[in-house]
Amino acid sequence: MDSSKNTFLIAFRTASNWIEIGKVTYADYKPDSLNKYWIQYEHVTAVGEKTLRPPSIVYNPHTGKYYLAWLGTDNRLNVIQSYDGRTWFNKVTLNEYSYHVPTIVVGDDRYIYLLWVGMDNRINIIRSPDGIGRFDKSTSHEKTDRYIGAAYVPGTQSSLIISWVGLDYRINIIKYYPEGKIWWGKMTLDIYSRSGLSMTYIREPYTKGSYSLYIVFSGWDNRLYSIRSSDTLGTNWGYLMSFDEVRATNPFIASNQDKLFITYSLWYYHLFLLRTTL
């Protein structure tokens, strides 16, 4: 996401496995306009890196930088940063390996968090103050073979909320306290998914200081679904919503002020964007 509420960057893998950056600009809903849902896409740059999985991108409002994470063709994790999404610098290749898509998020504590599934299917986290050095790793006993969702919600006792699909296809949520490397409060929902998960939080527009957590995933029928928790620690989940979209790849969700965005692709070829206003 950009600092502008109506502009955000997306990172995606092309059909030839190159990473590219695009910019989406939209107008707020205008009921009397002929183009009520105006939206524009602009190609920004090709990063010059290849991957066999979708990359992950995040904006850090504390530093004004974008951070991009991806899995190299050698299965090693990489992180790079940029001020404008066009020029990328400070590439770091970690001595960590995976078969799956990494997740990158920014904490309210100003740290960059990178999550991935190891070769043994265990969930891993590292954090860094600048995305370059001082990586602080923790490995969970929890296992998955799909994309991990994560969100660092302001005012949640400095905890990262993490979601994943277990090896039994059920959705799980756990909290992670980085200062003590403590994993706690695991929940297993009676909801099943065929895909990985993506998670975000959004500020509730009608209640000051209140946030909601959202998870998107592909259901057993391959349709797109979302669930919500109005508890910022992710303890109580409900509000299951299904979409008309049928998709075959992992969906991704992000928020910007009072807007939610879902991106997904159909059979790895076309990229789609859904958005909603609270």
- Within 10 A of 270 (CB to CB), how many other CB atoms are there? 8
Distance CA 102, CA 131 (A): 14
pLDDT, residue 264, reads: 74
Show the tokens assigned to 226.
């979302």
The phi-psi region of residue 113 (left if phi > 0; otherwise alpha if psi is between -120 and 50; otherwise beta) is beta
Whether residue 151 contacts residue 115, with contact meaning beta carbons closer than 8 Å, is answered with no
Q: What's the token pair of residue 251?
A: 């969906």
Range of the domain at 48: 7-277
How far apart are the C-alpha atoms of 251 and 214, rounded to whole Å? 12
CATH number at residue 21: 2.120.10.70
pLDDT in tens, the chain (278 residues): 444 567 889 999 998 999 999 998 877 666 666 655 667 889 999 999 999 999 999 999 889 999 999 999 999 999 999 999 999 999 999 999 999 989 999 988 889 999 999 999 999 999 998 888 777 899 999 999 999 999 988 765 678 999 999 999 999 999 999 888 999 999 999 999 988 899 998 877 666 767 889 999 998 888 889 999 988 788 899 889 888 777 656 788 888 767 788 887 765 555 666 666 55
Q: Pull the structure tokens for residue 252.
A: 């991704």
With respect to residue 42, please indicate whether it lies within any of the assigned structural domains. yes
The size of the chain, in residues, is 278
Calpha distance 162→178 (Å, rounded): 12
In the chain, the amino acid numbered 202 is: I
Q: Spell out the long-range contacts of 271-275 with Cβ–Cβ below 8 A and sequence spacing 24 or more.
A: 271/10, 271/12, 272/245, 272/247, 273/10, 273/24, 273/39, 274/243, 274/245, 275/26
Q: Quick one: how far is CA 204 from the chain centroid?
A: 19
- Domain membership flag for residue 54: yes
Does 56 fall in a domain?
A: yes
Q: Which residues make beta-bridge pairs with 9?
A: 23
What local confidence, expressed as pLDDT, does residue 210 receive? 78
The answer to the question of residue 96 being in a domain is yes
pLDDT of residue 37: 61
CB 162 within 8 A of CB 148: yes
List the one residue out of 269, 192, 229, 254 whose CA is nearest residue 66.
Answer: 254
> Whole-angstrom Cα distance, residue 46 to residue 14?
10
CA 108 from centroid of its chain's CA atoms = 16
Query: What is the structure's pLDDT at 3?
Result: 44
3-state helix, strand, coil split of the chain in percent (to 5) is 0, 60, 40
**What pLDDT score was predicted for residue 56?**
94
Residue 72 in tokens: 């190299």
Measured between alpha carbons, how far is 103 from 221 in angstroms, rounded to an integer? 25
Query: Domains in the chain: how many in total?
Result: 1
Burial class, 168, CB count within 10 angstroms (exposed 0-12 / middle 13-18 / buried 19+): exposed
**Which two three-digit tokens encode residue 210?**
């209140």
Residue 247's pLDDT is: 65
